């Protein structure tokens, strides 16, 4: 029997003493298969796709809600395949109109929101309804940037309905959108304003999941806890700051294990369950961990099935010289999977902030001075064992547009304290004996946790060398998100992971119309940049697109709305009784493929 516990208790030894008695998972039968998975935070902010933004929201929502397309789990490079669709969509000759055909066997799960409590079949209107929700101001337009300017008539619909709401009227989901054309309950077309290479990638992201209007209308804000979807699992329980439980959806349609595999998947035996009906496990248990040590101890005890190796535990599991898993761990049958992330880890500035924001040469110089103080190599080596990739710009390694050798010229990469002092002088501040004397302290918002505290302490030491003072604010991730949505943070630290392998996903973070509460939490605005962003959405791979990417990155280096960057290589460890787990952090609907070998001699169930 495994425990789900409140990791906010501060003494790890106390946690271990009471773990068996606090929030113990329901007893499992001999045949029941349970996948235990950690989430390295206090949990998701929401599980409503229209309101969700974070990885943690995605991890939860993707168990219940489904999208038209999904990623092929065992195929690399990443490819898309139908999920709610009967086949891949077709495209008109001009690339602007997509034709879709839904599966005929998709049903929403039984729920009191439906007449007689019986779940109904998913139809075309559900797709249009779910996508229109992204335009509803009730959800703060969190996911609107995914569809903004993309579909004929949808922006007009958003403005018209927003005006209705402002006048005290109800948002009218029945109002037509010219680019949404219903052919039948199973077939429809979507007309784009212009060809867009990212459209299919976008509709595979969890924010464009499909859910029934009956559930939203009945449960309102409680939709978080009354999730009604078509996916392989149902939400059974959500305990904030503790964990959540998903159980197999008994009404899930006939979906089967993949039939396409990479060479690695075949070598690892991940093809052996081909033809098995999904999902393979009966329950998925998520446990929330703000601190890494309790999570690591639970993995070592066998109470968690897979884990991202914390930096503090790296040398316990790996030889620091050759980065290989230590023999004693290999003898246990622990599976090691390094996962290179499409990562953008940075420190950002609010360009609307009175102190660090603005577009004048002086304001650019101040931000550049701060950036030049950061010692990324020290950070990488002291806290990450030198594993992550340090790079310039906003496009991660592995995605077209990433600079050669991870380096741009010029760049704002530190440490260069001499240049930082010169930039402070350009910004109009007094520098005496190598330290600025008249710059007010700068407030930095970042997530709560031991690792973030260590990173911030290092950054403070770097800045102190030129006299810059930092006031850190450590908050829960949900509170940090709210502060950014409200433009309250002068400076902030975040990690952004690309949901699809296209540079547009990261470059949207600096597109002016995406300002808060959209993904442009920097509130960066630049006419040239915006024009280039609108252009790259339809440019095919080639010299013109490469030139646009390069120029956009140059603009970001010039104005310094952020400094970075860093891309993690996760060191995942997987217990020997877990089967079929191809670790990925690009998408999160993979739990349906995972199996648990309850007959394994070391299985602790």
Which CATH number do you get for residue 261?
3.40.190.10
| pLDDT in the model for residue 386 | 84
Query: Is residue 23 over pLDDT 80?
Result: no
Pick from 58, 27, 77: nearest CA to 605 = 27
- Is residue 294 situated within a structural domain? no
Residue-wise pLDDT for 270-296, tens only, equals 999 999 999 999 999 999 999 999 999
Residue-wise pLDDT for 481-521, tens only, equals 889 999 999 999 998 888 788 899 899 999 999 999 888 99
Query: Is residue 253 over pLDDT 80?
Result: yes
**Confidence tier at 225 by pLDDT (50, 70, 90):** confident
Residues 258 and 380 in one domain: no
Residues 36 and 158 in one domain: yes
Tokens for 125, please give them: 């209107």
Q: What is the 3-state secondary structure (H, E, C) of 248-268?
A: ECCCCCCCECCCCCCHHHHHC
Evaluate if pTM is beyond 0.85.
no
Beta bridge mates, 515: 520
- Is residue 335 situated within a structural domain? no
| pLDDT in the model for residue 568 | 86
Higher pLDDT, residue 74 or 2 = 74
Beta bridge mates, 189: 99, 181
Cα(394)–Cα(282) distance, integer angstroms: 40
Q: Which residues of 124-136 are buried (b: 16+ CB within 10 A; e: fewer)?
A: bbbbbbbbbbbbb
Residue-wise pLDDT for 192-220, tens only, equals 999 988 899 999 999 999 999 999 999 99
On average, the pLDDT of the chain sits at: 91
**Confidence tier at 173 by pLDDT (50, 70, 90):** very high
User: What is the average pLDDT across 92-112?
Assistant: 97
Residues 527 and 394 in one domain: yes
Radius of gyration of the chain (CA): 25
The DSSP-derived string for 306-337 is: EEEPPGGGHHHHB-TTT-PBPHHHHHTT-EEE
**Confidence tier at 4 by pLDDT (50, 70, 90):** very low
Query: Is residue 179 over pLDDT 90?
Result: yes
| pLDDT in the model for residue 499 | 79
Residues 358 and 488 in one domain: yes
Structural domain for 236, as ranges: 12-265
Domain end call among 228, 244, 265: 265
- Is residue 299 situated within a structural domain? no
Residues 366 and 249 in one domain: no
Q: Is 591 exposed, middle or buried (0-12, 13-18, 19+ CB in 10 A)?
A: buried
User: What is the average pLDDT across 134-151?
Assistant: 91
Cα(229)–Cα(206) distance, integer angstroms: 12
- Is residue 2 situated within a structural domain? no
Cα(578)–Cα(580) distance, integer angstroms: 7
Domain end call among 232, 265, 298: 265
Residues 422 and 532 in one domain: yes
Q: How far is CA 343 from CA 4, 296, 586, 595, in A?
A: 29, 23, 10, 28
**Confidence tier at 605 by pLDDT (50, 70, 90):** confident
Tell me what percent of the residues of the chain surpass a pLDDT of 90: 79
Residues 243 and 392 in one domain: no
- DSSP tag of 589: -
Cα(255)–Cα(569) distance, integer angstroms: 32
**Confidence tier at 26 by pLDDT (50, 70, 90):** very low
Decide: helix, strand or coil at residue 516: coil
Higher pLDDT, residue 226 or 21 = 226
Residue position matching structure tokens 């310094």: 560
Higher pLDDT, residue 139 or 120 = 120
- Is residue 494 situated within a structural domain? yes
Cα(496)–Cα(343) distance, integer angstroms: 6
Domain end call among 237, 265, 293: 265
Residues 379 and 497 in one domain: yes
Count CA within 13 A, CB hemisphere, residue 346.
27
410 cis-preceded (ω within 30 degrees of 0): yes
Residues 118 and 225 in one domain: yes
- Is residue 227 situated within a structural domain? yes
Residue-wise pLDDT for 323-361, tens only, equals 899 999 999 999 999 988 889 999 999 999 999 999 999
E strand residue ranges, 130-195 = 180-182, 187-191
| pLDDT in the model for residue 27 | 46
User: What is the average pLDDT across 549-554?
Assistant: 96
Residues 24 and 148 in one domain: yes
Q: Are 414 and 375 in contact (CB under 8 A)?
A: yes
Residues 214 and 354 in one domain: no
Sequence-distant (≥ 6) Cβ neighbours of residue 392 within 8 angstroms: 403, 406, 407, 408, 411, 412, 413, 553, 557, 565
Pick from 366, 326, 288: nearest CA to 560 = 366
User: What is the average pLDDT across 258-275?
Assistant: 94
Tell me what percent of the residues of the chain surpass a pLDDT of 70: 95
Residue position matching structure tokens 């209705």: 164
| pLDDT in the model for residue 298 | 97
User: What is the average pLDDT across 49-57?
Assistant: 89
Number of domains in the chain: 2
Tokens for 345, please give them: 């880890």
Residues 522 and 425 in one domain: yes
Query: Is residue 402 over pLDDT 90?
Result: yes
Query: Is residue 14 over pLDDT 50?
Result: no
Q: How far is CA 553 from CA 198, 414, 504, 524, 528, in A?
A: 19, 17, 12, 13, 12
Q: How many other C-beta atoms lie within 10 A of the C-beta of residue 24?
A: 13
CATH code for the domain in which residue 537 is found:
3.10.105.10
| pLDDT in the model for residue 591 | 98
- Is residue 292 situated within a structural domain? no
- Is residue 69 situated within a structural domain? yes
CA 120, 123, 125, 129 dihedral sign is positive
């Amino acid at each position: 029997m495994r425990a789900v516990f409140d990791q906010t208790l501060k003494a790890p030894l106390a946690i271990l003493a009471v773990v068996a008695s606090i929030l113990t998972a329901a007893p499992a039968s001999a045949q029941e298969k349970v996948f235990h998975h950690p989430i390295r935070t206090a949990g998701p902010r929401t599980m409503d796709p229209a309101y969700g933004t974070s990885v943690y929201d995605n991890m939860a929502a993707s168990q219940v809600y489904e999208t038209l397309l999904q990623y092929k789990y065992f195929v690399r490079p990443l490819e898309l395949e139908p999920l709610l669709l009967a086949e891949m969509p077709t495209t008109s000759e001009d690339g602007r109109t997509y034709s879709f055909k839904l599966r005929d066997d998709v049903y929403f799960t039984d729920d009191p929101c439906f007449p007689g409590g019986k779940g109904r079949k998913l139809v075309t209107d559900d797709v249009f309804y779910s996508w229109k929700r992204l335009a509803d101001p009730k959800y703060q337009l969190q996911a609107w940037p995914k569809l903004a300017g993309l579909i004929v008539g949808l922006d007009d619909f958003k403005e018209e309905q927003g005006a209705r709401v402002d006048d005290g009227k109800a948002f009218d989901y029945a109002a037509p959108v010219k680019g949404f054309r219903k052919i039948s309950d199973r077939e429809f077309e979507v007309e784009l304003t212009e060809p867009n290479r990212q459209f299919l990638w976008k509709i595979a992201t969890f924010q464009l999941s499909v859910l029934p209007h009956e559930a939203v209308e009945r449960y309102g804000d409680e939709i978080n806890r009354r999730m009604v979807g078509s996916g392989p699992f149902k939400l059974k329980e959500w305990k904030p700051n503790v964990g959540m439980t998903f159980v197999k959806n008994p009404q899930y349609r006939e979906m089967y294990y993949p039939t396409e595999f990479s060479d690695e998947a075949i070598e690892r035996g991940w093809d052996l369950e081909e033809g098995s009906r999904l999902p393979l496990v009966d329950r998925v248990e998520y446990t929330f961990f703000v601190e890494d040590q309790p999570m690591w101890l639970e993995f070592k005890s066998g109470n968690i099935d897979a884990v991202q190796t914390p930096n503090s535990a790296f040398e316990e599991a790996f030889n620091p010289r050759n980065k290989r898993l230590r023999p004693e761990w290999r003898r246990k049958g622990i599976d090691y999977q390094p996962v290179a992330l499409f990562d953008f880890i940075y420190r950002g500035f609010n360009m609307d902030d009175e102190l660090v924001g603005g577009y004048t040469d002086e304001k650019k110089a101040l931000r550049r001075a701060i950036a030049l103080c950061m010692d990324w190599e020290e950070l990488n080596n002291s806290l990450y064992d030198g594993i992550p990739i340090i790079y310039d710009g906003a496009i991660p390694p592995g995605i077209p547009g990433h600079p050669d050798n991870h380096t741009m010229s010029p760049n704002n990469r530190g440490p260069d304290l001499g240049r930082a002092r010169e930039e402070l002088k350009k910004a109009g501040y007094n520098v005496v004996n190598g330290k600025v004397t008249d710059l007010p302290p700068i407030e930095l918002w970042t997530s709560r946790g031991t690792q973030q505290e260590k990173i911030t302490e290092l950054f403070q030491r770097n800045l102190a060398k030129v006299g810059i003072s930092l006031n850190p604010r450590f908050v829960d991730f949900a509170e940090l998100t709210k502060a950014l949505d409200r433009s309250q943070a002068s400076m902030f630290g975040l990690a952004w992971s690309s949901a699809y392998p296209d540079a547009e996903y990261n470059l949207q973070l600096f597109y002016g119309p995406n300002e808060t509460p959209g993904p442009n939490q920097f509130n960066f605005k630049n006419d040239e940049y915006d024009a280039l962003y609108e252009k790259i959405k339809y440019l095919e791979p080639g010299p013109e697109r490469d030139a646009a990417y390069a120029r956009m990155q140059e603009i970001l280096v010039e104005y310094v709305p952020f400094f970075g960057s860093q891309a993690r290589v996760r060191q995942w460890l997987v217990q020997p009784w877990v089967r079929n787990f191809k670790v990925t952090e690009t998408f999160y609907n993979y739990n349906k493929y995972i199996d648990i070998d309850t007959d394994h001699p070391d299985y602790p169930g």
